[in-house]
Chain A
């Protein structure tokens, strides 16, 4: 069984603040893949990142950064200097090698106020 937990339901910040979204996962596989998706108010899901379980290097892409810690089964996502356009629901997801099907967390709604 696999499980993704996003404990934060909603986060509200003022523009230019940093915001970190937590993601904790459970899996018995040693090989697995972690994803983050963004769902803006328009509804379309936007792929942000894919990370495999053997690559624990942190990654930075512009204002986005990801912290993967296998020891704590966490794959946290930070938005630096947030902007109003970052307002969306963010989903963390897990895929195990056996079937590659994605299990999504409940999502965290981020609201960035001007």
Chain B
């Protein structure tokens, strides 16, 4: 398994501001992902954080709104830019372990960062 630490665990933000969420893993991992969980909803993949290159975004998510950094194999950040109340969600970092390039491994999640935008 992996220990995944996210900061902040929760925050209350003002409309129009930006917030950066950090994700630290206790081991080197190839695959890191960012998910969003809106209140009472399921998880939606925002993007795959690629080490050394631009993140790969899912449909409906763009780099200008959710810039992602991945400077090394143990760390990533997600910024939620120009926030609005609709951005109030839990943002989760996840890593994949055990992939043998033929089948997916297990996906482990951090505890999430709960953002409330006023």
Using a CB–CB cutoff of 8 Å, the interface residues on chain A facing chain B are 33, 35, 37, 42-45, 47, 50, 52, 91, 95, 97, 100-102, 104-107
Contacts and interface: CB of A to CB of B under 8 A. Distances in A.
A47 B107 contact: yes
Interface in B1-60: 33, 41-45, 48, 58
A74 B58 CA distance: 26
Q: Is the interface of B mostly helix, strand, loop or mixed?
A: strand
7 contacts: A42-B111, A43-B90, A97-B103, A101-B33, A101-B48, A104-B44, A105-B42
Contact of B110 (A44, A91, A102, A106): A44
Interface residues of B, number: 23
Contacts of B114: 43
Given A44-B111, A100-B99, A33 B43 contact: no
Contacts of A105: 42
Interface of B: 33, 41-45, 48, 58, 90, 92, 94, 96, 99, 103-104, 106-112, 114
Nearest to B113: A43
A53 to B, nearest CB: 10
